[in-house]
Structure formats: C-alpha cells, structure tokens
Amino acid sequence: MSHPEVVAAPWTSLFDELEDLGPRPGADVGAPMMSGRILKTWENVETGLWRCTPGGWPVENRPDEESVIILAGRARVTDASGRVTELSEGSTAVFPRGWYGRWDIDEAIVKFYVSIK
C-alpha cells in the first residue's frame, strides 16, 4: 500500500516559489503587481498563495467563494454598505460568491486562500 507524500516546510519558504502574475486587472489606485502559486486543485476547489503589492480596486459580483488567512502585510476591504475591515497577519475573512466591495492594500499582502468555484 502506498502512502501519500507529506511536504512540510515553513510557509515563508514558499514565497520564493511564487509565479509572477503581472498587474492586478481593474486597479484604480497605484500599480499593484500580483504573484501566486496554486497549491492544490480538486473538483471545484483550489488552494494557493497569493501576493500583491500596494494598490486598490473594486470587486463587483465575485464569481466564487473565497476564504483567506492573511500571512503578511496590511489591507482594508470595504463592503458594499461601506463597512471597512482591516486585514493584517493572522486575520481571516470569507468573501461570498456575489460579493461587492473594494480591496485597498497598504503593505504588500500575502494570503493563503481556499476558493470554491
């Protein structure tokens, strides 16, 4: 019987393995640049790491549901009602399918995400 392989490493070591994803589409503040790495995909679920430099953009009618854990950096998300939530290292958030709001990144952010399509 074969056993699944377990890969263990400090999460910060994964920062060196992020792929350049280019500029954040739709940004209306700054010039945010993205990088990321998909860690696992199965059926309609994807997990990964995503990094983005400072900037801001609106989100309209989010097409998927996403849960995140912020690993580094600082950002503010504003929902459609104008409520602002500060995100920083250790913060968690859930963005439901259909979410409207805004991301404003103050300090390059790194998040671990689980996305359900």
pLDDT digits (tens, 9 = 90+) for 7-19: 566 666 666 789 9
Looking at domain 11-116, does it have CATH number 3.40.50.300? no
pLDDT digits (tens, 9 = 90+) for 67-78: 999 999 999 999
Domain ranges of the chain: 11-116
Q: Are 54 and 103 in contact (CB under 8 A)?
A: no
Which pTM was predicted? 0.87
* Whole-Å CA distances, 92 to 6, 7, 71, 89: 25, 24, 10, 9
Residue 36 CA, distance from chain mean position: 9
Grade residue 92 by pLDDT with cuts at 50, 70 and 90. Answer: very high
Per-residue burial over 43-76, b = 16 or more CB atoms within 10 Å of its CB, e = otherwise: eeebebbbbbbbbbbebeeeebbbbbbbbbbbbe
Among candidates 102, 99, 103, 100, which has minimal Cα distance to 116?
A: 99
